[in-house]
A and B are shown apart, each in its own frame.
Chain A
Amino acid sequence: MSPGDIWSALTGAGDLQPLLTSVLSGLCTLGVLVLACTPLSWMLARDRLPFPRVWEAGLLCALLLPPLVIGLLLVFMVGPYTWVGGILNWMHQSATNTFLALVIAEVYESAPYYVLGAQAAFAGVDTQYEQQAGLLGDRPGRVFRRVTLPLAAPGLAMSLAVAWARAIGAFGAVVIIAYHPFGIPMQIFVTLQETGLYSALPYALFLLVIALPLPLAAYIWSARAERRRRG
C-alpha cells in the first residue's frame, strides 16, 4: 500500500469524520478520568474510602470482563428504559447511539486502567513528604498540589497514556451502545465488513498514529522527570 493509496482512502467526503469523533471522544474521556478518577485513585491509595475492597473488586471486574459484556451491562445501567436513561431523556439526551454514549463506553473501558495505575502512583508517594509539607505550614489542598501531585505525576502520566490508548481503541462496549457516531475502530470494522481488508488498513494506520504519540510523550516525560530527580 503506497502513501497515495492511503491518502486517497482518507480524503473522500466525510472520511475524516471518524478521526475527529475518536479524538474528541478520547479527549472528553481523558477529561472525565482526570476530574473524577484522580480523586478516586488518591482516596483508594490513602484508604480514605469506605469499603475499599468493594471498590477494588468493582474496578477489577471492569478490567477483567470482556468489553462486549461491559457494553451489555451499560445497556442495563444507562439504556433508555433505566432511570438514568429516563433522566437523560428528560434532558433530551440519550446514552445509546450518541456521542455521549461513545464517551460513556470509552470511560468504562479505560477507567480501570487509569484508576489502578494512578492508585499505584499515589501509593508510591511516601506519606512522610505530605506530613512534612503539612508541618511546614501547607494546608491539605496545597500539600496535594505542591507535593503529592508532582511526585505522582510520572505514574499518573503513564496511566493516562494507557487509558488514552484504551479509550481511542475501544470497540467491544462501543459496538453495543454507540454504534453511531462512528469512531475509528467502528469505521475499521464497518469498512472491513463492507469493502475488505485493503480499504480498512489506512484507518488502522490512522488509529496507530493518533493513539501512539501520547503514550510515547508520557514515557519520555516520565523518564526525564526521573532523571531530573536523580540530579
Chain B
Amino acid sequence: MLSVDVEVDRRDFPVRAALEVAPGERVALFGPSGAGKTTVLEVIAGLVAPRRGGIELNGRVLTSTTAPVVDVPAWQRRVGLLRQDPGLFPHLPVRANLLYARSSSGAELAALARELDIEELLSAMPARLSGGQRHRVALGRLLLAHCDTLLLDEPFASLDAALRRSLTTLVKHLSSERSVPSVLVTHQLADAQAFADRLVVLDRGQFLQTGAPDEVVLRPASRRVAELVGYLGFVPAGPSARPGAGTAAGVHPDRVVPGADASRGFVVTGTVTAARPSGAGWEADVVAGDAAFTCRLPSRPDPGRLSVTLLDPPYFGQDGTLLAPGEHIRAGHG
C-alpha cells in the first residue's frame, strides 16, 4: 500500500497531494502541463522534499515531517521511476542495464526478457535500440530491481499510439501480476483511462476530483474538471434555458448526437459557424445564444441552424460545481 499526504512548496503554487494506492492498483494523475503531477512523483521518490506531510510504502515510513522526522534517501526507498526518457545507462549493454540493481537471478532475467520480448537485445548497447525497445528495457530494469511501487512519468508520451497502447497494456499486466501499486502521470486523458483503475484530476497543485475514469468524465465535479477532461463548451440549461440563469450543461464533443431527442438528453439548437473533418466524422463549431461549443458529428452538418442532443450531460450550478441529477431543473426555475 502506498500512502501519500504531503504539501510541497513550488515557486508558482504549493502542491497538495493526498493519495492511497492499494497493492496492484493503478492510479493516474491527470492534469495540464505544470499542474504539479511530476512533483508528486518526485516527492514519493525522495527527489524533492515536502514542506509538510508523510509518505508510507508497505508499512515503511519513507517521509515524515512530524516527530520523529524521517527522510529515507532515494536509494533506500525501493521506488521505481520511469520517465519519458527511459534513462538507460549508455555505457552498459542491455543485460548490464537490466541487472543493474543486482537483486535478481539469471533465470528471472531470462523469463522477464521473454515476457518483454527483448531476448534478442541483451548484448546490444542502448544507442542501438528503438524508442519502444528502450522503454521495455527500462521497465524490465525496474521490475528486476523488485521495486515496491512503480511511478510512471508520462513514459510513453513520445511513442506512436499503437506502441503506447501495447506498452500500457504490458505495464498494466505486469503491475497487477506483481501486486505493485502504480501511479501514472499524464496529460493525455486517453492514456490515463487506458491505464488506471482510478483517475485523479490535478490542477495548479490541487486534487480536484478522484474517481473511476468513466465516472470522472461523465460526471466531472466542476466546470474546471469538465474543461480538463475534454468538455468543449457549456450551454445554458434548465426548463427555460435562459441565458444567465446560472445553470449550464457541459458539452462533451463525443456525447452529442444530431437531431432533437429530449428523451435522451438535453436538446440545443444553434447555428453552425464552422465545420471540419475530424477522424471518421466531422467537427462543428456551434453558437447557441450567448454560448458556443464544439461537437463531433457522423456526417458534415448543413450550414445554418442545427439541433443536437447532448446525451445525459452533466449540469453545473452558478458556482461551477456539479448539480445532482434533476437539480438543474429546480435551479432553472429558481
Contacts and interface: CB of A to CB of B under 8 A. Distances in A.
Interface of A: 126, 128-129, 131-140, 143, 147, 150-151, 225, 228-231
Given A231-B125, A231-B128, A135 B90 contact: no
A134 B127 contact: no
A150 B127 CA distance: 16
B77 A135 contact: yes
Interface in B221-279: none
Q: Main secondary structure on chain A at its contact with chain B? A: helix
A133 B80 CA distance: 10
Interface of B: 45, 47, 73-81, 83, 85, 87, 89-91, 100-101, 103, 124-128, 141-142, 145
Contact of B45 (A135, A138, A151, A230): A135
Contacts of B85: 128
Contact of B74 (A126, A131, A147): A131
A26 to B, nearest CB: 29
Given A129-B89, A131-B47, A230 B125 contact: yes
A137 B145 contact: yes
A136 B145 contact: yes
A147 B89 contact: yes
Contacts of A129: 87, 89-90
A128 to B, nearest CB: 5
A135 B127 contact: no
A230 B87 CA distance: 15
B72 to A, nearest CB: 12
Contacts of A151: 89-91
A140 B89 CA distance: 16
A166 B101 CA distance: 41
A134 B87 contact: no
Contact of B75 (A135, A147, A228, A230): A135
Nearest to B124: A231
5 contacts: A133-B100, A137-B78, A140-B75, A229-B90, A230-B128
A132 B87 CA distance: 7
Contact of B127 (A126, A132, A147, A229): A229
A228 B127 CA distance: 10
Nearest to B91: A150
